[in-house]
Amino acid sequence: MVRTGDWLREAWSVVTADIGMYILVGLIVGATNGIPYVGTALVCGSFLAIFASLQTGSRLELSPLGRAFQADIGLPAFLVALIQGGIVFVIYIAMFVIGLITGGLGLIVMIPGLLVVILGMGVLWLFAFPLVADRQLPCWEAMETSRKATMANLGGFVGFVLIAGLIAGVGSMCTLGLGSLILIPWMMVATAIAYRDTLGIQSVGAAAPPAYAAPGGTGTLPPPPTPPTQ
Protein backbone atom coordinates (compact mmCIF):
# COMPACT_ATOMS: atom_id res chain seq x y z
CA MET A 1 0.00 0.00 0.00
CA VAL A 2 1.30 3.44 -0.93
CA ARG A 3 1.16 5.81 2.06
CA THR A 4 2.45 9.06 0.58
CA GLY A 5 1.53 11.31 3.49
CA ASP A 6 2.98 8.97 6.12
CA TRP A 7 6.21 8.49 4.16
CA LEU A 8 6.75 12.20 3.60
CA ARG A 9 6.00 13.07 7.24
CA GLU A 10 8.29 10.34 8.57
CA ALA A 11 11.04 11.47 6.19
CA TRP A 12 10.71 15.05 7.44
CA SER A 13 10.95 13.88 11.06
CA VAL A 14 14.05 11.81 10.29
CA VAL A 15 15.81 14.64 8.45
CA THR A 16 15.02 17.40 10.93
CA ALA A 17 16.13 15.21 13.86
CA ASP A 18 19.66 15.03 12.39
CA ILE A 19 19.59 18.03 10.11
CA GLY A 20 23.31 18.77 10.08
CA MET A 21 24.27 15.37 8.71
CA TYR A 22 21.47 15.39 6.16
CA ILE A 23 22.48 18.83 4.90
CA LEU A 24 25.97 17.38 4.44
CA VAL A 25 24.46 14.53 2.41
CA GLY A 26 22.57 17.08 0.32
CA LEU A 27 25.81 18.95 -0.34
CA ILE A 28 27.66 15.79 -1.32
CA VAL A 29 24.93 14.47 -3.63
CA GLY A 30 24.25 17.88 -5.17
CA ALA A 31 27.92 18.68 -5.76
CA THR A 32 28.65 15.36 -7.48
CA ASN A 33 25.44 15.17 -9.51
CA GLY A 34 26.31 14.52 -13.14
CA ILE A 35 29.85 13.27 -12.49
CA PRO A 36 30.05 9.84 -14.17
CA TYR A 37 30.23 6.92 -11.76
CA VAL A 38 31.03 9.16 -8.76
CA GLY A 39 27.61 10.83 -8.58
CA THR A 40 25.58 7.64 -8.84
CA ALA A 41 27.89 5.77 -6.45
CA LEU A 42 27.38 8.48 -3.84
CA VAL A 43 23.61 8.32 -4.33
CA CYS A 44 23.74 4.58 -3.57
CA GLY A 45 26.12 5.19 -0.67
CA SER A 46 23.68 7.74 0.73
CA PHE A 47 20.90 5.16 0.52
CA LEU A 48 23.08 2.67 2.42
CA ALA A 49 23.64 5.26 5.15
CA ILE A 50 19.93 6.10 5.30
CA PHE A 51 18.97 2.40 5.44
CA ALA A 52 21.34 1.88 8.37
CA SER A 53 19.88 4.88 10.21
CA LEU A 54 16.28 3.77 9.59
CA GLN A 55 16.89 0.19 10.67
CA THR A 56 18.92 0.92 13.81
CA GLY A 57 17.33 4.21 14.85
CA SER A 58 20.80 5.72 15.12
CA ARG A 59 22.19 8.97 13.76
CA LEU A 60 23.21 9.12 10.12
CA GLU A 61 26.79 8.08 9.47
CA LEU A 62 28.75 8.70 6.28
CA SER A 63 30.98 5.63 6.47
CA PRO A 64 28.74 3.58 4.08
CA LEU A 65 29.40 6.07 1.26
CA GLY A 66 32.76 4.50 0.47
CA ARG A 67 31.20 1.03 0.17
CA ALA A 68 29.21 2.20 -2.86
CA PHE A 69 32.36 2.75 -4.94
CA GLN A 70 32.97 -1.00 -5.09
CA ALA A 71 32.13 -2.56 -8.44
CA ASP A 72 29.07 -4.54 -7.26
CA ILE A 73 27.30 -1.25 -6.46
CA GLY A 74 29.12 1.48 -8.36
CA LEU A 75 28.98 -0.16 -11.81
CA PRO A 76 25.28 -1.16 -11.81
CA ALA A 77 24.36 2.29 -10.48
CA PHE A 78 26.33 3.93 -13.28
CA LEU A 79 24.61 1.72 -15.87
CA VAL A 80 21.15 2.56 -14.49
CA ALA A 81 21.92 6.27 -14.87
CA LEU A 82 23.40 5.66 -18.33
CA ILE A 83 20.22 3.95 -19.55
CA GLN A 84 18.00 6.66 -18.10
CA GLY A 85 20.15 9.41 -19.58
CA GLY A 86 20.28 7.61 -22.93
CA ILE A 87 16.49 7.48 -23.14
CA VAL A 88 16.19 11.21 -22.41
CA PHE A 89 18.96 11.99 -24.93
CA VAL A 90 17.23 10.03 -27.70
CA ILE A 91 13.99 11.89 -27.01
CA TYR A 92 15.81 15.23 -27.12
CA ILE A 93 17.31 14.35 -30.51
CA ALA A 94 13.87 13.31 -31.77
CA MET A 95 12.44 16.62 -30.54
CA PHE A 96 15.18 18.55 -32.34
CA VAL A 97 14.64 16.69 -35.62
CA ILE A 98 10.85 17.03 -35.45
CA GLY A 99 11.23 20.71 -34.62
CA LEU A 100 13.35 21.23 -37.74
CA ILE A 101 10.91 19.33 -39.95
CA THR A 102 7.73 20.94 -38.62
CA GLY A 103 9.07 24.40 -37.93
CA GLY A 104 8.62 23.91 -34.19
CA LEU A 105 4.99 22.80 -34.27
CA GLY A 106 5.91 19.24 -33.34
CA LEU A 107 7.40 20.48 -30.09
CA ILE A 108 3.91 21.28 -28.85
CA VAL A 109 3.37 17.53 -28.63
CA MET A 110 6.93 16.43 -27.93
CA ILE A 111 7.60 18.58 -24.85
CA PRO A 112 4.64 17.22 -22.85
CA GLY A 113 5.60 13.78 -24.10
CA LEU A 114 9.12 14.23 -22.74
CA LEU A 115 7.77 15.28 -19.36
CA VAL A 116 5.56 12.18 -19.27
CA VAL A 117 8.53 9.95 -20.12
CA ILE A 118 10.68 11.53 -17.39
CA LEU A 119 7.85 11.11 -14.87
CA GLY A 120 7.39 7.51 -16.00
CA MET A 121 11.07 6.73 -15.48
CA GLY A 122 10.98 8.40 -12.08
CA VAL A 123 8.05 6.22 -11.04
CA LEU A 124 8.91 2.88 -12.66
CA TRP A 125 12.57 3.01 -11.66
CA LEU A 126 11.99 4.69 -8.31
CA PHE A 127 13.67 1.84 -6.45
CA ALA A 128 16.44 1.07 -8.96
CA PHE A 129 19.22 2.83 -7.02
CA PRO A 130 17.99 1.59 -3.61
CA LEU A 131 17.92 -1.98 -4.97
CA VAL A 132 21.47 -1.69 -6.30
CA ALA A 133 22.61 -0.30 -2.95
CA ASP A 134 20.68 -2.69 -0.71
CA ARG A 135 20.84 -5.96 -2.63
CA GLN A 136 23.71 -5.32 -5.09
CA LEU A 137 21.45 -6.34 -7.96
CA PRO A 138 22.73 -6.03 -11.53
CA CYS A 139 21.52 -3.01 -13.46
CA TRP A 140 18.65 -4.52 -15.45
CA GLU A 141 17.48 -6.76 -12.61
CA ALA A 142 17.25 -3.75 -10.31
CA MET A 143 15.29 -1.78 -12.90
CA GLU A 144 12.91 -4.68 -13.56
CA THR A 145 12.36 -5.37 -9.86
CA SER A 146 11.57 -1.70 -9.34
CA ARG A 147 9.21 -1.64 -12.32
CA LYS A 148 7.27 -4.66 -11.10
CA ALA A 149 7.00 -3.27 -7.57
CA THR A 150 5.73 0.15 -8.65
CA MET A 151 3.42 -1.23 -11.36
CA ALA A 152 1.63 -3.17 -8.62
CA ASN A 153 0.26 0.19 -7.40
CA LEU A 154 1.05 2.52 -10.27
CA GLY A 155 -1.44 5.25 -9.40
CA GLY A 156 -0.23 5.43 -5.82
CA PHE A 157 3.43 5.72 -6.79
CA VAL A 158 2.68 8.32 -9.48
CA GLY A 159 1.00 10.37 -6.76
CA PHE A 160 3.95 9.88 -4.41
CA VAL A 161 6.50 11.03 -7.00
CA LEU A 162 4.36 13.96 -8.15
CA ILE A 163 3.63 15.27 -4.66
CA ALA A 164 7.20 14.86 -3.42
CA GLY A 165 8.58 16.41 -6.60
CA LEU A 166 6.17 19.32 -6.45
CA ILE A 167 7.02 20.09 -2.83
CA ALA A 168 10.74 19.85 -3.54
CA GLY A 169 10.50 21.98 -6.68
CA VAL A 170 8.45 24.75 -5.10
CA GLY A 171 10.54 24.71 -1.94
CA SER A 172 13.76 24.97 -3.89
CA MET A 173 12.47 27.86 -6.03
CA CYS A 174 11.13 29.77 -3.04
CA THR A 175 14.51 29.55 -1.30
CA LEU A 176 16.58 30.33 -4.42
CA GLY A 177 17.94 26.80 -4.41
CA LEU A 178 19.13 26.77 -0.80
CA GLY A 179 16.22 24.57 0.20
CA SER A 180 17.67 21.80 -1.93
CA LEU A 181 20.21 21.15 0.83
CA ILE A 182 17.34 19.80 2.91
CA LEU A 183 14.90 18.77 0.19
CA ILE A 184 17.33 16.47 -1.67
CA PRO A 185 17.99 14.29 1.41
CA TRP A 186 14.31 14.57 2.39
CA MET A 187 13.29 13.04 -0.96
CA MET A 188 15.96 10.36 -0.60
CA VAL A 189 14.76 9.47 2.90
CA ALA A 190 11.13 9.39 1.70
CA THR A 191 12.17 7.05 -1.12
CA ALA A 192 14.11 4.87 1.33
CA ILE A 193 11.06 4.65 3.61
CA ALA A 194 8.84 3.77 0.64
CA TYR A 195 11.37 1.11 -0.36
CA ARG A 196 11.46 -0.27 3.20
CA ASP A 197 7.69 -0.61 3.31
CA THR A 198 7.38 -2.00 -0.22
CA LEU A 199 10.32 -4.35 -0.69
CA GLY A 200 12.06 -4.51 2.69
CA ILE A 201 15.62 -3.52 3.62
CA GLN A 202 18.12 -6.39 3.59
CA SER A 203 21.47 -4.70 4.07
CA VAL A 204 21.13 -3.83 7.78
CA GLY A 205 19.94 -6.83 9.74
CA ALA A 206 16.35 -6.34 8.68
CA ALA A 207 13.76 -8.98 9.33
CA ALA A 208 13.05 -10.45 5.93
CA PRO A 209 10.17 -12.47 4.54
CA PRO A 210 10.79 -16.10 3.46
CA ALA A 211 13.56 -16.32 0.91
CA TYR A 212 13.65 -17.80 -2.55
CA ALA A 213 16.64 -18.98 -4.52
CA ALA A 214 18.55 -16.23 -6.26
CA PRO A 215 19.31 -16.53 -10.00
CA GLY A 216 22.12 -18.98 -10.56
CA GLY A 217 21.35 -20.90 -7.40
CA THR A 218 23.74 -18.92 -5.14
CA GLY A 219 22.35 -17.08 -2.15
CA THR A 220 18.80 -16.04 -1.53
CA LEU A 221 16.71 -12.97 -2.07
CA PRO A 222 13.42 -12.31 -0.28
CA PRO A 223 10.45 -11.50 -2.48
CA PRO A 224 8.41 -8.35 -2.00
CA PRO A 225 5.77 -8.63 0.74
CA THR A 226 3.08 -8.61 -1.97
CA PRO A 227 4.57 -9.89 -5.22
CA PRO A 228 3.53 -7.68 -8.18
CA THR A 229 1.49 -9.35 -10.86
CA GLN A 230 2.44 -7.04 -13.74
- Name the pLDDT band for 228 (thresholds 50, 70, 90): very low
Residue-level pLDDT at 118:
81
Residue-level pLDDT at 210:
36
Q: Cα–Cα distance between 125 and 84 in angstroms, integer?
A: 9
Q: Cα–Cα distance between 158 and 170 in angstroms, integer?
A: 18
Q: Looking at the 3D structure of the chain, how many domains does it have?
A: 1
Domain membership of residue 129 (yes or no) is yes
Contact 29, 42 (CB under 8 A): yes
- Name the pLDDT band for 82 (thresholds 50, 70, 90): very high
* Cα torsion 182, 87, 155, 49: sign: negative
Enumerate residues 6+ apart whose C-beta is below 8 A from 202. Answer: 134, 135, 208, 221, 222
Domain membership of residue 138 (yes or no) is yes
Domain membership of residue 227 (yes or no) is no
Domain membership of residue 226 (yes or no) is no
Q: What are the Cα distances from residue 65, in Å, to 53, 123, 203? A: 13, 25, 14
Domain that holds residue 177: 4-221
pLDDT in tens, 33-66: 889 999 999 999 999 999 999 999 889 999 889 8
Domain membership of residue 8 (yes or no) is yes
Q: What is the pTM of this model?
A: 0.83
Q: What percent of the chain has pLDDT over 70?
A: 85
Domain membership of residue 183 (yes or no) is yes
H or E stretch covering 6: helix 4-17
Residue-level pLDDT at 109:
66
Q: Which residues of 119-148 are buried (b: 16+ CB within 10 A; e: fewer)?
A: eebbbbbbbbbbbbbbbbbbbebbbbbbbb
Domain membership of residue 229 (yes or no) is no
213 or 13, which is more confident: 13
pLDDT in tens, 15-24: 999 999 999 9
Whether 135 has a pLDDT exceeding 70, the answer reads yes
Contact 7, 160 (CB under 8 A): yes
Domain membership of residue 96 (yes or no) is yes
Whether 223 has a pLDDT exceeding 80, the answer reads no
Enumerate residues 6+ apart whose C-beta is below 8 A from 35. Answer: none
Residue-level pLDDT at 203:
81
